[in-house]
C-alpha cells in the first residue's frame, strides 16, 4: 500500500525547442506527446509508463511539481485523509487533468513544494518489451538514461529564526507518506540541526532528498545510468553538445553514487546517477554526516566545496 516510486517531474523551461533537444539528444529521452498548451511529455527507454518528464513553457526555470505513483487508486483516499489530518490542505484533481493519467492528489509539502500522487498512467511499455527482451534498445542515444530516479528539493533553513523546512518535510514524509530515512547531515552545536536528509520508498538510497538553503527551490532531477563507464560517456555527450557542466564526474560519499551534474538550457540542474550505493531497507541504520565532513559526503574524492552546487538552483 502507498507510494511505489517517483512518477514524473514537471519543469518550467524558457526555450522549448532547446529543452526538448537537450532531454532527447543529451539525456537520451524520447518525446511521447505534446498537448494543446504546448507542454511536452518525455520518457526514458527503460520506463513503461507514458512519461516521466513534463516540460512547460515559461519565462523562468524551476519545478511546477513532482509526482509519485501509488500502488492502487484507493490509496489516494487513505493518503488524503492522513495528509489532511496532519493539517495540510489537499485537492483531488480529476482523471485527465494531466493526459493519460488518472486522478491525482495534490498538496504542498511543508516547504511549499507541490507534490502530486496518482495511481494510474497509461502503460506504453519499455523500448525492449517484456518478452525475451534485449538488455538495451538498438536506437539508444545520448547518455541513454534508463529512468527518472529521484529529485532533490532545496528547503529554507534559517536556524537564527528557527526555520527548518528540511526537518519539517522529513517529519511529514516519514510520518504521513511512509518514506524512511537513509542518510542525514547534522550541523550546529551537538549536531542538533537536521540540515539535509535522503529518504526512500524503494530499495535505492533515495527517492527524494531535502537540503537546506536560503530559499525553497529545485536543486536537481536525476536520471539513472548503469555504471561509472556510463557516467564518463554521459560527460562526453555533454561536452560534444556544449552542455554546461556544474560538477564533473565524481563520487558521492552520501549514497555512494557515481555522478555528474549539468544544466538544461533553461538552467534546471540535471544529474546522471549510477551505482546501487547500498541496499536501502527500513531496518538499515541511518547514516549520519557531521558538519566537518559535509563536503566529503557531497564529493568524496576531493572533499572540497563547490560553491555553485549549493548556491545555484531554480
Q: Which residues are the active-site residues? A: 150, 206, 220, 252, 261, 271
Cell of 114: 507541490
Find all residues with CB under 8 Å of 103, minimum gap 6, and list them. Answer: 73, 76, 92, 93, 94, 95, 97, 118, 119
Residues 271, 275, 277, 279, Cα dihedral to 10°: 120
- Of 209, 199, 195, the C-alpha closest to 151 is 209
CA dist 30 and 24 (Å) reads: 6
Cα 80 to its chain centre, rounded Å, is 22
Give, as one character, the DSSP assignment of residue 215: S
Amino acid at each position: 500500500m502507498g507510494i511505489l516510486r517517483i512518477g514524473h517531474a514537471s519543469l518550467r523551461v524558457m526555450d522549448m525547442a532547446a529543452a526538448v533537444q537537450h532531454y532527447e539528444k543529451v539525456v537520451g529521452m524520447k518525446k511521447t506527446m505534446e498537448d494543446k498548451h504546448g507542454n511536452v511529455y518525455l520518457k526514458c527507454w527503460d520506463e513503461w509508463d507514458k512519461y516521466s518528464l513534463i516540460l512547460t513553457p515559461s519565462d523562468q526555470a524551476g519545478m511546477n511539481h513532482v509526482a509519485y505513483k501509488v500502488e492502487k487508486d484507493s490509496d489516494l483516499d487513505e493518503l488524503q485523509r492522513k495528509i489532511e489530518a496532519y493539517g495540510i490542505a489537499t485537492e483531488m484533481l480529476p482523471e485527465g487533468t494531466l493526459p493519460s493519467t488518472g486522478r491525482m492528489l495534490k498538496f504542498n509539502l511543508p516547504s511549499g513544494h507541490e507534490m502530486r500522487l496518482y495511481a494510474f498512467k497509461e502503460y506504453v511499455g519499455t523500448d525492449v518489451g517484456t518478452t525475451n527482451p534485449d538488455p538495451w534498445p538498438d536506437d539508444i542515444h545520448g547518455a541513454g538514461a534508463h529512468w527518472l530516479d529521484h529529485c532533490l528539493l532545496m528547503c529554507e533553513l534559517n536556524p537564527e529564526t528557527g526555520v527548518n523546512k528540511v526537518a519539517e518535510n522529513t517529519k511529514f514524509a516519514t510520518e504521513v507518506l511512509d518514506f524512511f530515512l537513509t542518510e542525514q547531515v547534522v550541523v550546529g552545536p551537538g549536531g542538533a540541526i537536521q540540515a539535509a536528509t535522503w529518504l526512500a520508498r524503494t530499495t535505492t538510497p533515495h527517492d527524494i532528498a531535502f537540503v537546506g538553503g536560503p530559499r525553497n527551490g529545485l536543486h536537481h532531477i536525476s536520471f539513472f545510468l548503469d555504471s561509472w563507464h556510463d557516467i564518463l560517456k554521459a560527460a562526453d555527450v555533454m561536452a560534444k553538445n556544449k552542455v554546461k557542466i556544474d560538477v564533473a564526474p565524481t563520487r558521492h560519499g552520501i549514497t555512494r553514487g557515481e555522478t555528474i551534474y549539468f544544466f538544461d538550457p533553461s538552467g534546471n540542474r540535471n544529474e546522471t546517477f549510477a551505482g546501487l550505493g547500498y541496499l536501502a531497507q527500513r531496518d538499515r541504520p541511518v547514516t549520519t554526516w557531521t558538519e566537518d565532513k559535509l563536503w566529503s559526503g557531497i564529493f568524496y574524492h576531493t572533499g572540497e566545496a563547490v560553491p555553485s552546487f549549493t548556491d545555484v538552483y531554480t
